[in-house]
Amino acid sequence: MPHVLLASGDWHFRALVRAQLIEEGIEAEAHETAREALNGITGLRKLPALIVADLAGSPHPAAGIDLLARWTPILPVWIVLPHTMKVDRPIEHLGFDRVIYRPLDLATLVQEIKERSGL
C-alpha cells in the first residue's frame, strides 16, 4: 500500500484529502506543517511514495519551499500554492515533482495522487 504524507495548515484540505486517499486504498498521514510531516519520516521503515504540502495557508511559505526543496532529490514532492503568491525566485527549478496553484479541485488532486502512487 502506498504511503503519502500530507501537510497543510488548512484542516479542511488535510481532512478531505486524507479521507479520500484512505478510501482509494492509499495510506495517508496528515500534518499541520511541512516540518511536522518531514520530522515523521525518520520514524518510518520505508520512505513515503509522495509528499503533498499545501503552503497556501502557511505564515512562512518561503521557508516551507526551502525546507521541502531539500527533500526533492530523495522523494517526489508536490507543493500547493495560492495563485496570488509572490516568490522571490522561480520555484519551478527547485526539483519539485509538481507545483500546483489554488484554487484546485480536491477530487482531481486525489485522482492525480492515486495515479502517481501507481494505483
Report the C-alpha gap between 117 and 119 in whole angstroms: 6
For residue 16, the enclosing domain spans 3-116
Paired sense of beta strands 3-8 and 50-54, if any: parallel
Render each residue's pLDDT in the chain as its tens digit; 119 residues: 889 999 999 999 999 999 999 999 999 999 999 999 888 787 667 889 999 999 987 878 888 899 999 999 999 999 999 887 776 677 878 999 999 988 999 999 999 999 998 76
CATH code, domain carrying 88? 3.40.50.2300
User: Number of folded domains in the chain?
Assistant: 1
